[in-house]
Structure formats: C-alpha cells, structure tokens
Chains A and B, each alone.
Chain A
Amino acid sequence: MTVRKSLTARLLAATICATALLPGAAMAETLRLLTWGGYAPDNVIALFEKEYPDIDVEVTLSNNEEMVAKLRATGGAGFDLAQPSHDRIFAAQSEFDIYKPLDLSKIETGKMQANLLEAVKANTTIDGGVYAVPHQWGTTGLVVDVTKAPDVKDWADLCKEEYKGKTSMRLRRTILLGMGFSLGYDPFALYNDTAAYTEMLDKVAEKMIACKSVIKTYWNGGDDLSTLLLSGEVVASESWDSTAFKLYGENQNLVYVPPSSGALTWIDTFVIPSKGRADDAAYKWINFVMRPEIVTMMSDSTGAIAAVEGGIELLPEAKKAAVKLAFDDAAIANMKFFANIPPGLEDIEGKVLERIKAASGN
C-alpha cells in the first residue's frame, strides 16, 4: 500500500509540475514552415529566433506537388506557413480548401515589387480574399555548355540530332509548356480552352516522343541534373535558373540560357494553411525575410531572386554576375509568367506525360 501511495503522490506531483510549466511552454510559439530546400537557411532562422526569442522555427522541405498533397491529407493542418508556386494555389484552394485568406494589413506589401505582387494577387484571389503574396521568383530555361552546344537557344533545340545522347530534361508539365511555346503556341492563352489545349498537347507529345531517341535520360532533381552536366555526360538540358547559376559557379562554361521563346517564370509565394495555428509568427517571418539584408542571405541559399524592388541588385555578387550574363533586358521582357492552372488541366497533362514516358524510344 505504501508503495502505491507514494506512486500516486509522485504522479500527482508530476502532474502539478507539468501544469505549472504549461503556460511557460505555451509562451514559446512554434512556426512550422513547409517550404523548398534552401528557403529557410540556418543563418536566417538563427537571426529570426534571436529577434523573436519566443518563436521556434521548424522546417519541412517539400515541393509543389507534395505541399498540396500534405496539406490535403490533413485538411490544411500541421503547418503554419507554406510556399507553393503562384500558379498552384487557385486550383488547390478551390478544390481542397486548404488555405486561409491573408490579412494584407499585416504584411509590408509596399516593399514588394509591384508587378509581381499584382500578378500573384490576380492569380490567387478567390471570393474577394487574397491567398498569397510573392516571395521569390525564378525561371526555368536551358543550361548549356557553350563550348559544346553553342547553338542550343530554345526548348526544341534539345531534340537536335547532333546532340543525340547528350541532352536531358525533366519530364514534368514545365517542359510541355516550353515545347508548346517552342512550337509556336501560347499555352497559357489556351488554358481555358480545353479542346485547343489538348490539341496543342498532342503536337507537343508527338515532338517529345520523337525527341526521346535524342534524350539521354530525364532528370529528377537538382543533384541529378548537376552531376549530368558537371560530368560532361550532358551538354544541354532544361534547367532551373538557380541550379544553372550554381553550376556556373563551378564551371564557367555552363551557362543559363533563357529560351528564345521566353523563359518560364514562376513565383514562389507565401500562403497560410487553413488550420495554421501561428498566423502572427507567420506574418513576422514574411516581413522578416523581405528585409534587404535577409534577402541577400536568402538568395545566396536559394539562388532565386527576391520579389522586392531591386531584387537582382540584392543578389550575392557571384550570382548577380551569372544573372546579368544570362538575362539582358529583352530576355526579361520576354519572360512568360506561369498562369493559373484551371482544375482538371493537370490531369490531362499527366496523361500526356505518361504517354510520352511509355512510348518506346531509344
């Protein structure tokens, strides 16, 4: 009996202690970030936590598709701030209701580059609520070894017979759009005309299937792509600009080339999941990373350009050089911003991608 009593007493004591500690525990808020690799570098987190000692930052790395899948699985719970690309928000929100409208008064929108902010707002306004603000932007284009494939200028050039076995691309929707532009279509204009879009996709698929014999392999991620180019196995490939800029740092022959039909431009945004529990901390993070000194640190880590006025100037020196080499004013003017994907469109694209992969090439 005495043993039991003392056990009960101890349990009681423990409970009291825990209860006493609870308010203290609640004081430290946790900000759970769902974002891309490199978008929450340790040095930025350290500075943020130093400024807001009562906020802990937890980071989960992901990509566009998985962000939506994760939030969908929990109905918008489990994270307090997410960073999908601007064209992925409208459909996901209309279909799964996983985000909540932003309180723009809590965000220092004045610092943001006006045209990007407007583009994102236009893309993500549902029933009067704005669901996203821009964070960083970048482009998808080509990375080319200028000594070995100097005449690769556009998406379709990746299919040139002379580079047989030496080119690569990522078998995702981006390349479908790029090929569409290369073939003279404007895919974004066709988004809402399913029949015309499907017709375009058929032409693109035809081109891509014919192209398979030239392609060495489809790459899956940045590491994959980097190894292919640095080893010299591939001389020209579809690429994210950030990866291309990193490659330039290692080999000055590897240059980012905005396709002549226009680099496809994405804007990664900030959204707040519908069951996020730390909205204030989320707004603090948004405003914090838009500060000029933080922008430079962030861009150094991500390779992307911040959506603030003069974002290119705030890039670290090495990257600034690479960007200036790649983009002249004409190329910047020619950038193609991803348009909102209407619901159901990705399903059609998915089938086309499967068809391409299943087709036998050599």
Chain B
Amino acid sequence: MKSSDASRLTLILLFAPFALWIILLIILPQIGVGWLSLREKLGPREYAFGFGNYLDFFREPIYWNTLLRTAWISVLVTILALLIGFPVAWYIAKIARQRSRAALFLMCLIPLWVSDLVRAFGWILLLRETGIVSGMLQWAGLSSGPVELLYNDITVVIGMVYTVVLFMIVPLVSTLDGMDNALLEAGYNLGGSRMTVFRRIVIPYAMPGIVAGCIITFMLAAGSYLTPILLGGKNSMWFTEQIYEQFVTRYNWESGATFGVLLLVFTSAVVWLGLRLTGQNLASTVAKE
C-alpha cells in the first residue's frame, strides 16, 4: 500500500507542472477568450450575451477576406518551407558527416538567436529601395535605378519562410535520420528509379515528419505578427494585426476575442483538412513509435 501511494504521489508530482501549465496558461485563457467573444457590447458598460460578434465577422467581407488571405499566405509559406527545408534536412541527415552536422544545425538556429523585430529589420535593411540588394543590383548593372523590394506580399512570404523554415527542418531531420540507408538501396535494387524511391519510400517514410513540420510551420505563420506588419506593404492585411487592432486601438475586446477564437478554429480546420488530404492522423504523427 505504502509504496503504491508513494508511486502515485510521484506520478502526481511529475504530472502537476504539466497539468498546471495546460490549465492555467492554455485552457483557462481560452475559456476566458471564448466567453468574452460571446459578450455583445450594447453601449458603455452595457453588455448582453449572444453571437452578435460572430455575425459581425461574417457580415464584414474585409474580416473574412483577411482571414482567408492569412490562411492562404500561411499555406504558401508552409509549402515553400517544405520545399526548401526538405533538401536541407536531407543534406543534414543523410549526406553531411557526423561532425559537420551539429554545425549545420546550429546555422539553421541562428535566425532564432535574434528577436523577430531584429530579423525583420534585417530584411528591411537588405530589401529597401536604398538598401543593400537594390544597391548591388545597380552596381552589377542589372537595374538602372533603385529597386523597391520591400512592402509587398512576396517580401512577407520570404521573411516568414526564413523565420519558420527551421521548424520544418528539425522534425524532418529527426525522421530522416531514423531512416536506414539500406531502405533506399533496397528501393533501387528492387528496380525503382530515383523518382520511384523518392515517391514510394522516402516520402512515406518521412510523412510523420513532414506533417509535424507543416502543422508547426502553418500555425507559426498564421499566428505571426511582426513580420507581416513590418515587411508588408500598404495593402497587406494580416489577421493577427486585425486582432491587435480590435483589442488595442478600438478598445473592442469582444470582437478581438471573437477573432481570436475564429483564428484558432480556422487554423485547426486547415490542419485537420491537411491531415485528411494526406491520409495521416495526429496520433501517428505525434506519437510515432
């Protein structure tokens, strides 16, 4: 009895920080935000309960267009991060020698050593009209006058891919690392071409890593704030900016909370759809044996 009590106590003690973290920092605030989103503002210090805030969202095309735009750019960022991250991960996991591997990993980490803000300013210095890239283009004679590379959606996508690509690379490296090279050789040996081996062996094997990477990348992209605002142009709307505006500039916490809930629901739906389309499920991705 005693020892089982003790082991149960150990279990509770070990579990407690996790449970507290989940409950205090994730579940409770979410409930709070959810509750706030159902509060309609009638006038100063006058509120009623209802779904008015959600109706407002769907009645205003600017809002849901911004949400769709955010989602679509985030999907694009995710795809680009996958296309760029996969070869990098492949190189680190399969081609690089053991010793240089740590250094390569570290190089991928460098962008995370500086804050979002500094990173964005880095891009601004590079891409602005009087910036380094524009200067080099003129110096090389590729352009007759200054080129403005900043303040458009492409810049936003580049900036975000740069920020999130590491989160694509890490899960990919860890799955590819676990892949026995003999599987590839067996794939060739049994008559597969490079394409077949890649499509039928590498991709299915790396699928859990790909899915994990894509989920993280997509969520990070959709939830990012500074990069799209600082690099985006006069037309670039981002949903988190919309949420900030509602909360801070317009004192409209109710609508801000509604947007927050909608962003969570919508991105979750996109992830769910992605899992369905690729025939994966969350359990096989996260709890890979």
Contact = CB atoms under 8 A, between A and B. Distances in A.
A and B touching (C-beta < 8 Å)? yes
Interface of A: 65-66, 68-69, 72, 92, 94-97, 165, 171-172, 212, 215-218, 220, 227, 231-233, 343, 346-347, 350-351, 354-355, 357-361
A223 to B, nearest CB: 9
28 contacts: A66-B248, A68-B251, A69-B247, A95-B45, A95-B251, A96-B251, A97-B45, A165-B148, A172-B249, A212-B234, A212-B235, A215-B234, A216-B151, A217-B233, A218-B234, A233-B129, A233-B130, A343-B44, A346-B249, A346-B250, A347-B252, A351-B60, A354-B62, A354-B237, A355-B62, A358-B65, A358-B237, A361-B234
B22 to A, nearest CB: 23
A231 B251 contact: no
Contact of B130 (A231, A343, A347): A231
Contacts of B242: 354
Contacts of B247: 69
Interface string B47-70: 000000000000010100110000
Contacts of B246: 350
Interface in B224-250: 229-230, 233-235, 237, 242, 245-250
Contacts of A216: 148, 151, 234
A69 B248 contact: yes
Contacts of A66: 248
B101 interface: no
B251 A217 contact: no
Nearest to A67: B248
The 7 closest A-B pairs by CB, nearest first: A231-B130, A95-B44, A350-B250, A217-B151, A69-B248, A65-B248, A65-B249
Contacts of A68: 251
Nearest to B255: A347
A231 to B, nearest CB: 4
Given A95-B45, A361-B234, A69 B130 contact: no
Interface residues of B, number: 29
B128 interface: yes
A362 B234 CA distance: 9
Contacts of A359: 235
B263 interface: no
Contacts of A95: 44-45, 251
B150 interface: yes
Given A217-B150, A231-B130, A357 B235 contact: yes
Contacts of B65: 358
Contacts of A233: 128-130, 148
Contacts of B130: 231-233
Given A95-B44, A346-B251, A350-B249, 18 more contacts: A72-B253, A215-B234, A216-B148, A216-B151, A217-B234, A227-B128, A232-B130, A233-B130, A233-B148, A343-B43, A346-B249, A350-B252, A354-B245, A357-B234, A357-B235, A358-B66, A358-B235, A361-B234
B44 to A, nearest CB: 4
A21 to B, nearest CB: 31
Interface in B204-232: 229-230
B44 A358 contact: no
Nearest to A348: B250
A94 B46 CA distance: 12
A92 B242 CA distance: 21
A60 B264 CA distance: 31
A94 B151 CA distance: 39
A94 B251 contact: no
Interface string B102-133: 00000000000000000000000000111000
A89 to B, nearest CB: 13
A362 to B, nearest CB: 9
